[in-house]
Structure 1
């Protein structure tokens, strides 16, 4: 079903949607599709509200999504992976290069998926390609409204959404997937905790003369990590380069040719000469965590619930796990034709996400602060850990499992055998 007309929604005035997902980024799209998946065969009605994406052919977004194995399992369950696979690059290895310790730097460490019996830790997918594939699937599966939500009124029995085009939607449950400045979160009066780092992250993509061999490389540097991630072309990679704010302003003021020269001075030994730098964008490095993932008739997912620094590919994978667990908590509710916005349902969802989000938030924050600290004991401790990972296979395998899987069980939709 394509973008619904006002008449379509008038027909639901006496019977609200069971859930409306607000936000058409990757987390919102995956959440809407996951809810539709578990609602199949029931009377539950799901709706997605969010603007249509730009076509990948015209999008200037050079960011990519490094999705771990469990997130790929979810995409397979939702029926979109086959179309994405040819546009994705397997992440068969992760190389850590210590450039942050001025004294006694640790040796390079390479984590290989084969040590865990996996063909790859996950896959790197261009953001525009991922979003377009998910959106195309969504318009086939549910009503989609392309106008953004401007106002939400939460009542005892339902929530009423007003769109910017004047359209009104009634639902039992609002799923807020509308990002950092979430209208849904504000309407539900859910408080947040925010923190900032003296850094910016530069994102782009580039070509190089030596093949990446499906290995992502993360340079640990005093100003933050410099990370290259393979693209499907063996001679092209995406880049996330975290630097202090002044350096970020300098780098983004350079021409693309000059930027390529700067990047090559850091990466040339691994990549060879660099060329064809894409659109260069920079954004502040910050963190945010909602005090709770639920409020009156509201559940939060993705960046409406948590924002992490771009380190270790944790953010979007965390959002996909939000989607998987929300779908699992709503599965019996849809099957029993119960109230999807009832408080016990939302409490169960929030409880199932607490440990995963807290552990990832703390872990990423500590890693980032360990890089930018000038405190010698902290630098020495980080170096000792890297040397242990290099020399002890058992410790290395433990670290790899912790990096790709949460400390809590995965929802059934994200288990490889699901």
Structure 2
């Protein structure tokens, strides 16, 4: 077992696993500090085209593709009962020359495929003990793990989530805020095909978002008042099926929820900087926000792509301080604008203030009525590589 590496990646979730594989793909040795996750993840993630391209380059896409469903239409429906309501808006990938915006991927099969790939790589050494402390010098990053292991590396990627220990150790502060919402997450089957369409209902409590899975199945993220969570979780299954069908206006017919539900409090986080010394923040270590508009993990994978590019442009991990400074500059606009946009939309949904509702309804009406504006919004919502030809959909 080595003691010194080119890169250390701290965090064993989706972003950390991709970061470890992306670093190894450059021929760099990687110390992967990745304690086992606390529980199975029943959520799904809508990954847009550039994220799919990254998974393809890392050899992951072909493994997970059979579990995924294409996203060809994204539809917004006003599910509020307020005085000012927005017209329906549909965004179609064909309008910007794409076969699909991306694919909805169940998190657990994606996580399992990433774990298998990191295990098989001869350049990745995994450490399952958690990080205890970290120090940076002019030349290295030193990590001390529980159990006494000591690792040094030329550069580090902090991917250990919202409560990041590595981010704390290198002295990067964050701004956090919470919302009066929790997200319920579930998968369900339905009697009417979804036609590769994701539907986001805007309600007074936040988004109620259905996203396609293969066959007549979909995933659901349902934002509710935290005081309602226990009551919904305790509902008899037949009653819950009917509740979801009613809220979806029966557009997918009869609903049958599969397996257990999960709940998550909704909050946001943004770092004051995205790197320090020889360390860069990727994924939810640097930014986190509610699940609106398919931005979360896609933004994290763009972090990883940019981190690797910055290291290469600087001449490799040995020149990490220069790469970190470039990475910090380059990520500020993308991360800041996405975080602000999601926060603004979520607060607009929650607000009963009439002028705010008028602005929200008017904005959606403009998107519905003005095709060039709608196309511009779709291009902005996609990754920077939206012009590339899309991956062919699963057979």
Residue 155 (1) aligns with residue 137 (2): yes
Residue 94 (1) aligns with residue 78 (2): no
Aligned residue in 1 for 2:269: 288
CA distance in structure 2 between the aligned counterparts of 1:376 and 1:268, rounded to whole angstroms: 25
Aligned residue in 1 for 2:327: 349
* Contact kept in structure 1, 2:11 and 2:32, CA below 8 Å: yes
Aligned residue in 2 for 1:3: none
* Contact kept in structure 2, 1:219 and 1:225, CA below 8 Å: yes
Residue 392 (1) aligns with residue 384 (2): no
Task: Please give the per-residue CA displacement for 1:52-101, whole angstroms capped at 9, x wherever unaligned.
Answer: 569xxxx7422001000111111111121111211110001111101236
Aligned residue in 1 for 2:337: 359
Aligned residue in 2 for 1:23: 11
Query: Structure 1 pair 337/378, CA: closer, same or farther in 2 (3 Å)?
Result: closer
CA distance in structure 2 between the aligned counterparts of 1:262 and 1:373, rounded to whole angstroms: 24
Aligned residue in 1 for 2:203: 221
* Contact kept in structure 1, 2:200 and 2:207, CA below 8 Å: yes
CA distance in structure 2 between the aligned counterparts of 1:384 and 1:18, rounded to whole angstroms: 51
Alpha-carbon RMSD: 2.1
The alpha-carbon deviation at position 132 of structure 1 amounts to 1.2
Task: Please give the per-residue CA displacement for 1:327-346, whole angstroms capped at 9, x wherever unaligned.
Answer: 1011144xx4662432x221
The alpha-carbon deviation at position 316 of structure 1 amounts to 0.5
CA distance in structure 2 between the aligned counterparts of 1:48 and 1:345, rounded to whole angstroms: 20
The alpha-carbon deviation at position 191 of structure 1 amounts to 0.6
CA distance in structure 2 between the aligned counterparts of 1:207 and 1:390, rounded to whole angstroms: 29
Match of 2:43 among 50, 57, 63: 63
Aligned residue in 1 for 2:150: 168
CA distance in structure 1 between the aligned counterparts of 2:115 and 2:388, rounded to whole angstroms: 23
Q: What is the TM-score normalised by the length of structure 1?
A: 0.88
The alpha-carbon deviation at position 312 of structure 1 amounts to 0.9
The alpha-carbon deviation at position 256 of structure 1 amounts to 3.3
Match of 2:229 among 233, 241, 248: 248
Q: How does 1:273-284 map to 2 (within 5 A)?
A: 273-284=254-265
Q: Which runs of 5+ in 2 are unaligned?
A: 391-395
Give SS of 1:62's match: coil
* Contact kept in structure 1, 2:311 and 2:320, CA below 8 Å: no
Aligned residue in 1 for 2:33: 49
Q: How does 1:10-409 map to 2 (within 5 A)?
A: 12=3, 16-37=4-25, 39-40=26-27, 44-52=28-36, 60-100=40-80, 102-141=82-121, 142-233=124-215, 235-333=216-314, 336=315, 339-342=318-321, 344-405=322-383, 409=384
Task: Please give the per-residue CA displacement for 1:193-250, whole angstroms capped at 9, x wherever unaligned.
Answer: 01111111111111111111110000000110100100112x1111100112222332
CA distance in structure 2 between the aligned counterparts of 1:232 and 1:243, rounded to whole angstroms: 26
Q: Which runs of 5+ in 1 are unaligned?
A: 1-7
Aligned residue in 1 for 2:393: none
Aligned residue in 2 for 1:4: none
Q: What is the TM-score normalised by the length of structure 2?
A: 0.93
Moved more, 367-376 or 275-284: 275-284
